[in-house]
Structures are given as C-alpha cells and as structure tokens.
Amino acid sequence: MAIQKLKVGMAGLGRVGKLHATNFLHRTPRADLVAAFTPDQSELAWGKENLEPYGVTLYNNYLKMLEHPGLQAVAIGTATSVHAEETIQAIDKDLHVLCEKPLSTDVEVCRQVVRKAQSKPHLKVMCGFSRRFDESYRDAYEKASKGLIGRPAIVRSQTCDKLDPSGFYVEYAAWSGGVFVDMSVHDIDLTLWFFGDDSIPKSISAHGLRAVQPELAKYNDFDNAVGIIEFHNGKIAYYYCTRMMAHGQEDTTEVIGTEGKLTINGNPQKNFVNLYHNAGITREVPPNFMGRFGPAFVQESNEFTASCLYNTPLPINLNNAVKAVEIGAYLQEALVTGRQIRFDEGGKRIEQSQL
C-alpha cells in the first residue's frame, strides 16, 4: 500500500530556503518536495545540483510553481518583503503554507494574512518560529507547565548573532524591520508561550547603540539593543539582541519563577567536547542559528506535514505571529525615539505613535 505523502513546493533557496528544501527532501518522510522557486541564478544553480537529481522541478516564477501538478503545500523562505504576498497567493491556490518568520514587518499586512487564512479554515497556515520546535525549549516549557518553578514571572531572553564584517546586515536593515522585529521576534514569541498568549503589554521601553556598524544610522537601526516589556499580568520580559558576537551564535533564555528558574542554552556549545590546554578550557559554539536550531527546523517540517495530511491542529497559533511582530515594532519604535510606550488593560495604546 502506497504511503500518502504531502507534495511540497519550496519558495526561495537562500540560506533558510536551502535548509527547508533539504529537510523536506531528505528528513521529512511523509513529504515529497516536488518543486522549488527562486529568481536568483546562483540559487538555481544550487537547485540543479542538489534538488533536480531527486526529481524536483525548478522554477524562476513563483506563480508558475504554484501551478505545479498535484502541489498541496508551499514552504516560503524568500525575502521578508514578499512573505505576505506569496502566502496569500498560495492560499488563493488552495495550498497549505509554512511561512518563515515574520509574515511581514508591517502589522496590518500580517493581519491581512490571518484574515485570508481564516477565510479558508480547511488550510493549514503556519508561521515558523523554530524555537518552539527545539527539544530543549519544549522540555523547559513542559517543566514550567508542571509548576516546577512556581509561577513564571520574568523572562530574560537574547538572540545574538556572530559578527559579520561583510556589511550584509547594514544593507539588510533597509527592509528587515529593525533588530527587534528581525531578531527578538523569536524571544517575544517565547514570552507569549511561557507567559500565555493573552499577555497584554503595560509598558514598552528600549535602548540601543551602534558599537561596530555606525552605518546602521541611515536606517535608524542598531547593532545592539535592550528592550523591557512590563505586562498587565504582573510579569516582565527583558530582551537583548546583538549582531556583534565575536565567538559565534548565542541564543539564551531564562524563565524565572516564584519557586525556581529554567535556563535554556545557558552555556552555549557546539557539542559535548571541551579542549583542555595551556590557555584554559575551550569549547566551541555554533557559528549561526542553523548550528543551534537545525534539528528544530526538521521537527517543524515534520509536524507541519503531519498537520496537513491528518488535519490535526497546528502547533502554533497564527495570531501569535501577528502579536510578536506588533510587540517587536513597538520595541523598535521605543528604541528609535527613546520614549516609553504605554497601554491600557485592553491593549489599547495610550500615547500616539512617535515615528
């Protein structure tokens, strides 16, 4: 008896797109990667070498890929600026969608995606927040849910990228939405997970500096930033994001409760090897987020596939993707203006926008 498989198309073959494509092709047994799209010639060359030999059809036009015979789902790993448009186009073709975060840097556009998805409830539309699929974060969440640290009261979380001196992140800042929307959106999503999706900000403030890339000033962005959110339920979140780590990727979270705390990745390391030598004890750390969260992306593709095939609930509520971007945008505004933003208990902003 033939095993039912989900026929998937991959949009975008950049760094994240390659990762998703490889996972759907080789590490998701119930999925069948049948098509891939990219307008970039170097990415197409990679596809010819790594995807075509396995029967994947390559396209340089996204809409044409959506017409691929038998296509059932699309994974979107293209530039953030087209995430929403491509998601809506796929939904219009009656296709399931796994979209990389964020849906958009514009909150209203994110809401448009949610409304479109709600108009076709039989489709599975998910925004991929990879840390929710990480084994360590899931273990921590399970322990918190069992009350092992009492009532979670403070989240202290950071997303820290290794320094890239090429200037990529300076140009990327033109459309990234800023460090909080691009980086801390993961930490914000974790906060909503541990504190509850109904958590409503009471105040938001942020500060930053340009320590190594002063050119970011032309985009009102920073290479280091700290944000603090006070919630109406009496809880606080503290975020740190940076693009100047010298040693590698360091994404760490602490959940501090009334009877203890949980730490995830408190001592970052690539593996369990420590080098003992005359300069001390050395351990390597992952060079980028793929080194830290590679297995989480595999779990993500498998759970998305299972949800599509068996019509089971998605592990992430799409509305959370909107809320994470909304909070990230407020943090970015507070960062740029230097002003605290406040909200009433219904979540309505008290002050007007200062941007």
219 pLDDT band, cuts 50/70/90, is very high
| Domains 6-127 and 140-294+324-350 alike in fold | no
pTM comes to 0.93
Average pLDDT over residues 4-20: 97
Q: What is the sign of the dihedral through the CA atoms of 45, 46, 49 and 50?
A: negative
Average pLDDT, rounded, for the chain: 95
Q: Where are the domains of the chain?
A: 6-127, 140-294+324-350
Q: pLDDT of 258-303, one tens digit each?
A: 999 999 999 999 999 999 999 999 999 999 999 999 999 999 999 9
Task: Give 354's pLDDT tier (boundaries 50, 70, 90).
Answer: low
- Give me the percent of the chain exceeding a pLDDT of 70: 98
pLDDT in tens, 292-306: 999 999 999 999 999
Q: What is the pLDDT of residue 193?
A: 97
Edge-to-edge strands, sheet with 31-37:
57-59, 31-37, 6-11, 73-76, 96-100, 125-128
Cβ atoms 30, 4 nearer than 8 A: yes
The three-class DSSP label of residue 170 is helix
The gap from C-alpha 25 to its chain's centroid, in whole angstroms, comes to 21
Query: Quick one: what percent of the chain has pLDDT higher than 90?
Result: 94
Residue 233 CB coordination number (10 Å): 14
Q: What is the mean pLDDT of residues 149-176?
A: 94
What whole-number distance in Å separates Cα of residue 130 and Cα of residue 16? 11
Is the pLDDT reported for residue 352 higher than 90? Answer: no
Q: What is the secondary structure of 240-274 as a DSSP string?
A: EEEEEESS----EEEEEETTEEEEESSS--SSS--
b/e code 99-115 from CB counts within 10 Å (16+ = b): bbbbbbbbbebbbbbbe
What single letter denotes the amino acid at residue 117?
A
Q: Residue 153 and residue 52: Cα distance in Å, rounded?
A: 50
- pLDDT-derived band of residue 130, with 50, 70 and 90 as boundaries? very high
Distances (CA, A) of 68 to 58, 59, 150: 10, 10, 51
Instruction: Work out the pLDDT band at 175, boundaries 50, 70, 90.
Output: confident
- Asked if residue 355 has pLDDT above 90, the reply is no
CATH superfamily assigned to domain 6-127: NAD(P)-binding Rossmann-like Domain (3.40.50.720)
* Partners of 128 in the β-ladder: 100
158, 240 in Cβ contact below 8 A?
A: yes
Calculate mean pLDDT across residues 100-118. 96
In words, the CATH class of domain 140-294+324-350 is alpha beta
The predicted structure's pLDDT at residue 253: 98
Confidence tier at 353 by pLDDT (50, 70, 90)? low
Q: pLDDT per residue over 43-63, tens digit each?
A: 999 999 999 999 999 999 999
Radius of gyration of the chain (CA): 21
**Structure tokens, 13:** 């073959």
